Amino acid sequence: MLRHLLESHNFTKDETESLLMVAENISKQPEEYRELAKYKRLATLFYESSTRTRISFETAMQKLGGDVIGFPSAEVSSVSKGESVEDTIRVIQCYADIVAMRHNKEGMARLASEYSRIPIINAGDGSNEHPSQTMLDLYTIKQRLGRLDNFVIGFCGDLKFGRTVHSLTQILNKYYSGIEFYFISPEELKMPDRFLEKNMKYTEVNDLETTIDKLDILYMTRIQQERFSSKEEYMRFNGVYVLDEDKMKHAKNNMAVLHPFPRVNEITLGVDKDPRAAYFDQVQNGLYVRMALIMALLGIKDPISGQFILN
Ligand code: CP
């Protein structure tokens, strides 16, 4: 059956955990996975800029023995001549077996999936969702805490436009129990109502300094300049939250700091050497998780467990 990953909860809880388990197997025995996607081709269609997501998807496919095609920006494709997403996907599916697509407009990965006979991975659609980031965030949280239930997580910064926050919040609330959320943001950048579910245990605050001591996970985010209507509007919020070594003194000894990156100025370089900084682990884990994700959607069995990832 054709499956896509458009929103973080598109895989069941069992499927999600199976994906994380395979990612861990990959991290321990990468040589077992070297040729699993030989003769398969990934297309990365990036209408919006990226460093980590595009390059890690491409590296993931290459490490599975497959090929990569695609475009890194709309300007270098026929999109710049006015070609639609619908036509682009109908063309690309003639050449590729799976697509990772990023677009600056919400819902574009879903639209692509409606015209596609190959799996579509939403690699970020505007300020909506970024589900493959969620998978690597879950992996990193589990690596740090040893569990995905019963912890306190604080999301700090631009929660209005922060698609990684939207995706991770959804899956934690749907699949795991005992999660307490702190949403730390200016009033104007609050978590949108559509992502606040009735059964969620959450507190909205605007101060990081007085909240940090309560957290097991601190998920920092960038204020997203590209989502504001003007530079002046962006500058009102730029630098409003800065995690530095002083603030880290108030945090628990085993708190983990996550950030999807890119970072601008919201975590000082001094925090990087703190063992609680987990953001470069996220980048590394993204490779394993995206290898597992490509396997999942192409229906490739895990050679270690002998299992398929999706049911
Ligand atoms: N985390 C993330 O989406 O980074 P990029 O924008 O560099 O892909």
Residue with tokens 């049911």: 311
Are the beta carbons of 297 and 121 closer than 8 angstroms? yes
Are the beta carbons of 19 and 292 closer than 8 angstroms? yes
Between CA 262 and CA 142 the distance in angstroms is 22
Both tokens of residue 22? 């395979």
What's the order of all strands across the beta sheet hosting 98-103?
A: 67-71, 41-46, 98-103, 120-125
Both tokens of residue 130? 């970024």
Q: Do the domains 8-129+283-298 and 131-282 sit in the same CATH topology, yes or no? A: yes
- 217-267 tens-digit pLDDT: 999 999 988 888 888 888 888 889 999 999 999 999 999 999 999 999 999
CATH class of the domain comprising 131-282: alpha beta
Query: Domain coordinates of the chain in residue numbers?
Result: 8-129+283-298, 131-282
pLDDT at 123: 98
Of 9, 103, 130, 163, which residue is the catalytic one?
A: 130
Average pLDDT over residues 22-48: 98
In the residue annotation, 130 being an active-site residue is answered as: yes
In the residue annotation, 53 being an active-site residue is answered as: yes
* pLDDT above 90 for 162: yes
In the residue annotation, 166 being an active-site residue is answered as: no
pLDDT at 293: 98
The CATH-assigned architecture of domain 8-129+283-298 is: 3-Layer(aba) Sandwich (3.40)
From the list 74, 65, 16, 76, the residue with the least C-alpha distance to 41 is 65
* Ligand 1 atom nearest to 51, measured from its CA: 7
122 ligand 1 Cβ < 6 A:
no
- 184-231 tens-digit pLDDT: 999 999 999 999 999 999 999 999 999 999 999 999 999 988 888 888
pLDDT at 291: 99
Between CA 306 and CA 227 the distance in angstroms is 44
Beta carbons within 8 Å of 230's beta carbon, 6+ residues apart:
none
263 ligand 1 Cβ < 6 A:
no
pLDDT at 129: 98
Alpha helices in 128-262 (DSSP H): 131-145, 163-175, 231-235, 245-248
25 ligand 1 Cβ < 6 A:
no
Question: Atom 1 of ligand 1 has which residue's CA nearest to it?
Answer: 260
3-state secondary structure of 302: coil
Question: Cis before residue 262, ω within 30 degrees of 0?
Answer: yes
What DSSP assignment string belongs to 74-105? GGGSGGGGT--HHHHHHHHTTT-SEEEEEESS
Question: Atom 3 of ligand 1 has which residue's CA nearest to it?
Answer: 53
Best mutation site among 45, 47, 50 for ligand 1, i.e. most ligand atoms within 8 A of its Cβ?
50
Instruction: State CA 272 to chain mean position distance.
Output: 21
Its pTM stands at 0.97
pLDDT at 276: 98
* Ligand 1 atom nearest to 53, measured from its CA: 8
In the residue annotation, 44 being an active-site residue is answered as: no
- 64-116 tens-digit pLDDT: 999 999 999 999 999 999 999 999 999 999 999 999 999 999 999 999 999 99
Using alpha carbons only, give the angle 162, 111, 50 rounded to the nearest 5 degrees: 40
56 ligand 1 Cβ < 6 A:
no
